[in-house]
Structure 1
Amino acid sequence: MRLGFALLALLLSLPLSAAQLHLELDGSSRTLDSADLLRMPQAREINIEQDVSYKRPMRYRAVPLATLLQGIKADDHLQAVALDGFAAEMPAAPLLQEGPARAWLAIEDPAAPWPALGNGKPSAGPFYLVWTAPQASGIRPEQWPFQIATIRRLATVEQRFPALLPDPKLPAEGPVRQGFALFQQNCLACHRLNGAGDAQFGPDLNMPHNPTEYFQPGFLRQYIRDPQSLRQWPQARMPGFAESVLSEEELDALLAYLGHMAKRRP
Structure 2
Amino acid sequence: MRPCIALAALLSCLPLSAAQLHLELGTGQKQWSSEQLLAHPQAKTVDISEDVSYKRPMRYRAVPLAALLNGVQPEDHLQAIAADGFAAEMPAGPLLQPGPAQAWLAVEDPAAPWPPLGKGKPSAGPFYLVWTAPQASGIRPEQWPFQISTIRKLASVEQRFPALLPDPDLPGDSPVRQGFALFQQNCLACHRLNGAGDAQVGPDLNVPHNPTEYFQPGYLRMLIRDPQRLRQWPQAKMPGFAPSVLNDQELDALLAYLRHMATRKS
How does the TM-score come out when normalised to structure 1? 0.99
Mapped to 2, the partners of 1:66 and 1:195 lie a distance apart of: 32
Residue number in structure 1 paired with 2:165: 165
* Count of residues in Structure 1 that have an aligned counterpart in Structure 2: 266
Task: Read off the aligned partner of 1:87 and give its amino acid letter.
Answer: A
Two-structure CA RMSD over aligned residues (Å): 0.7
Which consecutive residues of structure 1, in runs of 5 or more, have no partner in the other structure?
none
User: Which aligned segments of 4 or more residues in structure 1 are displaced greater than 6 angstroms?
Assistant: none
- CA distances 1:60-86 after superposition (whole Å, capped 9, x unpaired): 000000000000000000000000100
3-state SS of 1:136 partner: helix
Residue number in structure 2 paired with 1:19: 19
Mapped to 1, the partners of 2:110 and 2:249 lie a distance apart of: 44
Mapped to 2, the partners of 1:261 and 1:133 lie a distance apart of: 35
Mapped to 2, the partners of 1:111 and 1:173 lie a distance apart of: 52
Mapped to 1, the partners of 2:120 and 2:13 lie a distance apart of: 19
Mapped to 1, the partners of 2:133 and 2:13 lie a distance apart of: 37
Residue number in structure 1 paired with 2:248: 248
Residue number in structure 1 paired with 2:30: 30
Task: Read off the aligned partner of 1:127 and give its amino acid letter.
Answer: F
Residue number in structure 2 paired with 1:60: 60
Mapped to 1, the partners of 2:5 and 2:59 lie a distance apart of: 35
Task: Read off the aligned partner of 1:153 and give its amino acid letter.
Answer: K
TM-superposed CA distance for 1:153, in Å, is 0.3
Residue number in structure 1 paired with 2:203: 203
Mapped to 2, the partners of 1:13 and 1:196 lie a distance apart of: 45
Residue number in structure 2 paired with 1:119: 119
Mapped to 1, the partners of 2:213 and 2:67 lie a distance apart of: 46
Mapped to 2, the partners of 1:13 and 1:55 lie a distance apart of: 30
3-state SS of 2:35 partner: helix
Equivalent residues in 2 for 1:1-266 (5 A)? 2-266=2-266
TM-superposed CA distance for 1:116, in Å, is 0.3
TM-superposed CA distance for 1:14, in Å, is 1.4
Mapped to 1, the partners of 2:26 and 2:208 lie a distance apart of: 37
3-state SS of 2:192 partner: coil
Mapped to 2, the partners of 1:36 and 1:235 lie a distance apart of: 34
Aligned-pair identity in percent equals: 77
Which consecutive residues of structure 2, in runs of 5 or more, have no partner in the other structure?
none
3-state SS of 2:81 partner: strand
